Amino acid sequence: MARHITMIALGGALGTGLVIGSGSALAKGGPAAILISYTAVGFVMFLVMCSLGEMGAWLPLPSGFTGYASRFCDPALGFALGWTYWMKYAIITPNQLTAAALVIQYWVDRDRVNPGVWIAVFMVVIITINYFGIKYFGEFEFWLSGLKVITICGLILLSLILVLGGGPDHDRKGFRYWKDPGAFRPYIDDGATGNFLAVWSTVITATFSYLGTELVGVTIGEAQNPSKTIPRAVKLTFARVACFYVLSIFLLGMLVPYNSKDLAFATKQSGGASASPFVVAIVLARIPILPHIINGALLLFVFSASNTDLYICTRTLYGLACEGKAPAIFARTNHRGVPVYALAACAPFTLLAMLNVSDNSTTVFGYFVNVVTIFGILTWISILTTHISFIRARKAQGVTKEQMAYAAPLGMWGSVGALVFCCIIALFKNFDVFVRGHWNRNTFITGYIGIPIYLILIFGYKLFTRESGHTPETVDLFTGKEAFDAEEKEHLADRQARASDARGRGWFYKTFIAWLL
């Protein structure tokens, strides 16, 4: 159902990157650094969504952005994008389990109960739900994602109240922590250079936080009236970025100092400290009981995220198999419609979370963020490259802007700028490992392993199939377009016939709720 798709897509974007990863970034760079990085990367993400929106409004494909890459740019790019996206979700699932272990350590120190115990419990539950509970999966995730949105909105409102001195301590903090300990936590060097490197060091976490927003591109083929709903969803992305991410990051910077002992990422001992800066803000305001309630809510939607990510991982592999880009066995389903072989192939990756057994959970979380971010940024690079190819093709074939249901506001040059920025992030996001005295083998491997894999997939596909990329003149822009336009006209006529019955309710939804959801 549409409401399931919308809420799950939004819930997928509001995950550990915002509620937990922001704590890591704050401890590393300081409040000003994370505000700059989250704003800059949020704008790039908006341009990625504009690119998707333009292609989706022209011709929605069931295969989503992997289909666009194959059809509008190069089949090799579509192949690499599909497998890159699968790898991202294969790694992000154990990352969510690591986040769950971090949240639980607020109550139970790892010295008392090893986090591997909690991870094993979560693993069994999410695999069971994905196997047996697929009939109820949509409804289950709809309500959990709804809880996620309500929790985030509540936390932003609470943060604003605390900033204005409405907490039990009646302390109007303002920009106190921007002065002491400081707006930036200089990284590697001092002065302006150290401040710049502090900003750049938080770009990884900022990028990780926004990954998942492009999930809407996977559901394009299931959208009703795509030429209207997809552009509207893209335009509202800007409001969501400003509200959920930039505003919450700005408020957090005023509520939590980057060196707070209550922040797990700012101390070597995570027991008793919170992985989420939101919970730390509540603790510092001396509000009783609420930190436990919020931590419980965060645990619930970290669980929801891990459940959804395993589902997407399984379905991505299933989709690749259906397109002939993965072994055919992964396209087989049981009588419930569950692709059991794909699930069996994806489930073992959750065992990577067991790295928590022997290593600090904050360290393991950082490794997973590194891997997920490189695969995620390669996904964005592929989408932007496809959009540039699409624009060149429509110009070469005489398709004007007037014929488009939606055109990216900054056009091809917006995508070119975003593509350059994404490439810079991909190459330099773990710059510190190249600085003398900061070499870390694990950070280097996790930070850059995606790049050779991505290139091997592209050139390996070309060598094996001997297929070449499309030129602007040979790109297929029109197959299926006529049928799509006819179907949409029929849908619009039916919708207009029923519009008078729900006019008031629709106005209320569009005005007050739709921008949020």
Residue 513 CB contacts under 8 Å (≥ 6 apart), including other chains: none
Please provide the DSSP assignment of 404-424 as one string: -S---TTHHHHHHHHHHHHHH
Predicted confidence at residue 185, as pLDDT, reads: 93
Asked if 490 and 482 count as a contact pair (C-beta separation under 8 A), the reply is no
Sorted by where each starts, the structural domains of the chain and their CATH numbers stand as 2-382+424-479 (1.20.1740.10)
Rounded Cα gap, residues 483 and 478, in angstroms: 10
Count H helices and E strands in the chain, helices first: 22, 0
Residue whose tokens read 């992305």 = 237
What's the pLDDT tens digit per position in 294-350? 888 888 878 888 888 888 899 889 988 988 899 999 999 888 788 899 999 999 999
Rounded Cα gap, residues 28 and 31, in angstroms: 10
The pLDDT averaged over each successive group of 10 residues in the chain (517 residues) is 55 71 88 94 90 86 84 93 92 89 84 87 90 69 76 89 89 90 91 93 89 69 66 71 84 92 65 74 90 87 83 88 90 86 93 81 85 94 95 91 86 94 94 86 92 95 90 89 75 62 53 52
107 C-beta neighbours (distance < 10 Å), count: 14
Predicted confidence at residue 481, as pLDDT, reads: 80
Predicted confidence at residue 161, as pLDDT, reads: 93
Question: Could you give phi then psi for residue 450, rounded to 5 degrees?
Answer: -65, -30
